[in-house]
Structure 1
Amino acid sequence: MKLLILSRNPQLYSTDALVKAAEKRGHEVRVVDYLRCYMNITSRKPRIYVDGEELQADAVIPRIAARHTFYGNAVVRQFEMMNVFTLNDSVAIARSRDKLRSMQILAKRGVGLPVTGFAHHTDATGKLIEMCGGAPLVIKLLEGTQGVGVVLAETANAASSVIEAFKDLNANILVQEFIKEAKGSDIRCIVVGGKVVASMKRQAPEGEFRSNLHRGGSAEKVKITPEERATAIRAAKAMGLNVAGVDLLRSNHGPVVMEVNSSPGLEGIEQSSKKDVAGGIIEFIERTLANPAKASKSGDK
């Protein structure tokens, strides 16, 4: 099997782990910088190139950075036009990168969420704060990643000030209830092909409420409940993702989903869970390509 991994940096742990897992199973694998790709968009024979070479593959693994979603997703769509199986398709990636759209899709599917408010005008600030249960509140930039642009407002006045400051910058934000009982921790579940293959508990450092590993959080293996497992699987399915990192909080009213990531990092969860997540992803691609009817659905959405 010929695999292409769309990644800007072959030295990244996740990219390297996927390469090694594919090679271990006897596949030909290549890492391609998607920003260097260019496309011939035609109805007769769509093509995609890098450095003058036409690219061909049996399957593509997108590892698209959030800041390059627009162009990276265009590259994924081009492969779909060529009837190449993409691990996560372009529609699902676009859904997951839009925090507001994600929340609306998950809510429609009945997936547990924190109470979340969204408004355009600051005249609605008071209503948003009241709707989300009052302070403390979490305020999030829709475009933020890895904990950047996420603010905990301890009081209603602080929340109003933060909301107004973001609005003055023409930023789009979400306002969410603060799940105090989570105590600065969350659970990351990796879902592959409709199954949770690994999970970890992330704990924020002292004085911080964001548990992202990029912000100094720690990770450890965790045993999840059947309800948490079902919630993670439902969230990935609602987004249409074959592979997803689903972030959950343990609230007093059950697990709630904070985010669904279409390119989850593998380092922290492989090291903490001792699971070969990269190998599981390659196995899923093998199983899918063995069923051509299932693989062909990638470009039909």
Structure 2
Amino acid sequence: MNIAILSRGGGLYSTKSLLRAGEARNHTMEVLDPDHCELLVENGTAILNYQGDMVDDLHAVIPRIGASNTYFGAALVRHFESMGVFTAVTADAIVKSRDKWTSFQILTQAGVAVPKTMLAHAINYEEQLRSFDGNPLIIKLLEGTHGHGVILAQTYQTALATVETLQTAGVKFLLQEFISESNGADIRAIVVDGVVVAAMKRQCKEGDFRSNLHRGGTSEVITLGYEEESLALRAAKALRLGVCGVDILQSSRGPLVLEVNSTPGLEGIETATGKNISKSIIGYLERNK
């Protein structure tokens, strides 16, 4: 097959890992930078040009769309879909999973357990904050990655000052319960084609509450229990993601899905687990094209 990775960073670990995995399976691999893609519809046909040349020979693409490029990235993936090219992650799934509130609505509708979360509303901030009974809470931007845009407010007054500042700046955000019993740890499970192919436990660095490896967290390989594995698979299915990372918190009432990432980084989890996740993704393309 002819397979393209949609990525701005040809030198990134995840991109290079996918390239190697595809080449090892004798596929023709290339990297397309979304910034150099031109989308066109003409005479009822979707046309895509890349650096002046028409792209019309691809069988599948693997989107690696960053949070800062969601709109155009999703439009690009949808363009490939209209051209009959198989995509590892659909445009609709990227958009829905990238918006944290939308994804929580979809997960809840599917019966997937998530932390108590509220869409902040300027008219009744104070009432919303009081509903957390004075406990620490998380203030989270609707779009963010690698732990950016996530604030832990230890007190009501801190939370109020923070939400007033965000509201003044015109930023949309969520209010979410802080799961203190997780002790700064979470589980990252990678789901490919309805199967958990790798999982690791991440622990935040001292003095932080975010377990992201990009924030200095540490990781260790784990085997998921039935509850965690079932939760990860149901989350992926609810958001219709063929490839994703599911972040799970351990709470006193059972595991909760914290976030579902349509473009999970591969370096940390491939290094921690020794699993070739990129090979699993290539296999997914082979089975569906």
TM class by shorter chain equals over 0.9
State the match for 1:178 in structure 2: 178
1:130 Cα deviation (Å)? 3.3
2: CA distance, partners of 1:219 / 1:42: 49
**Secondary structure, aligned partner of 1:224:** coil
1:133 Cα deviation (Å)? 4.5
The answer to whether 1:189 aligns with 2:207 is no
RMSD over aligned CA atoms reads 1.1
TM-score between the two structures when normalised by the length of structure 1: 0.93
Kindly provide the amino acid, as one letter, of the partner of residue 102 in structure 2. R
Contact 2:141 2:172 in 1 (8 A): yes
Kindly provide the amino acid, as one letter, of the partner of residue 83 in structure 1. G
Contact 1:116 1:132 in 2 (8 A): no
Contact 2:188 2:245 in 1 (8 A): yes
The share of aligned pairs that are identical, in percent, is: 48
Kindly provide the amino acid, as one letter, of the partner of residue 205 in structure 2. P
2: CA distance, partners of 1:133 / 1:264: 34
State the match for 1:70 in structure 2: 71
Contact 1:59 1:86 in 2 (8 A): yes
Contact 2:120 2:175 in 1 (8 A): no
Contact 1:139 1:173 in 2 (8 A): yes
Higher mean displacement: 106-115 or 39-48? 39-48
Q: Which runs of 5+ in 1 are unaligned?
A: 290-301
Tell me the matched-pair count: 288
State the match for 1:166 in structure 2: 166
1:255 Cα deviation (Å)? 0.8
Kindly provide the amino acid, as one letter, of the partner of residue 149 in structure 1. G
1: CA distance, partners of 2:29 / 2:134: 51
1:52-201 equivalent positions in 2, closer than 5 A:
52-55=52-55, 56-121=57-122, 123-201=123-201
1:144 Cα deviation (Å)? 2.2
| Counterparts in 2 of 1:200 and 1:133: CA distance versus 1, 3 Å | farther
1: CA distance, partners of 2:224 / 2:138: 25
Kindly provide the amino acid, as one letter, of the partner of residue 28 in structure 2. E
1:2-60: per-residue Cα shift (whole Å, max 9, x none)?
10110011110000000000000110010010110002213533110111111130001
Contact 1:142 1:173 in 2 (8 A): yes
**Secondary structure, aligned partner of 2:135:** coil
**Secondary structure, aligned partner of 1:110:** coil
1: CA distance, partners of 2:132 / 2:90: 33
The answer to whether 1:44 aligns with 2:44 is yes
1:162 Cα deviation (Å)? 1.0
State the match for 2:251 in structure 1: 251
Kindly provide the amino acid, as one letter, of the partner of residue 64 in structure 1. I
| Counterparts in 2 of 1:133 and 1:194: CA distance versus 1, 3 Å | farther
State the match for 1:288 in structure 2: 288
Contact 2:130 2:156 in 1 (8 A): no
1: CA distance, partners of 2:132 / 2:165: 19
Contact 1:184 1:211 in 2 (8 A): yes
1:146 Cα deviation (Å)? 1.3
Kindly provide the amino acid, as one letter, of the partner of residue 109 in structure 1. A
State the match for 1:202 in structure 2: 202
1:92 Cα deviation (Å)? 0.4
TM-score between the two structures when normalised by the length of structure 2: 0.97
Higher mean displacement: 36-45 or 155-164? 36-45
1:178-221: per-residue Cα shift (whole Å, max 9, x none)?
00010001100000001100001111000100111111111111
Kindly provide the amino acid, as one letter, of the partner of residue 98 in structure 2. R
State the match for 1:274 in structure 2: 274
2: CA distance, partners of 1:187 / 1:43: 48
Higher mean displacement: 39-48 or 200-209? 39-48
State the match for 1:298 in structure 2: none
The answer to whether 1:15 aligns with 2:15 is yes
State the match for 2:238 in structure 1: 238
Q: Which runs of 5+ in 2 are unaligned?
A: none
Contact 2:221 2:273 in 1 (8 A): yes
Contact 1:4 1:60 in 2 (8 A): yes
The answer to whether 1:213 aligns with 2:213 is yes
Kindly provide the amino acid, as one letter, of the partner of residue 26 in structure 2. G
| Counterparts in 2 of 1:132 and 1:41: CA distance versus 1, 3 Å | farther
**Secondary structure, aligned partner of 1:41:** strand
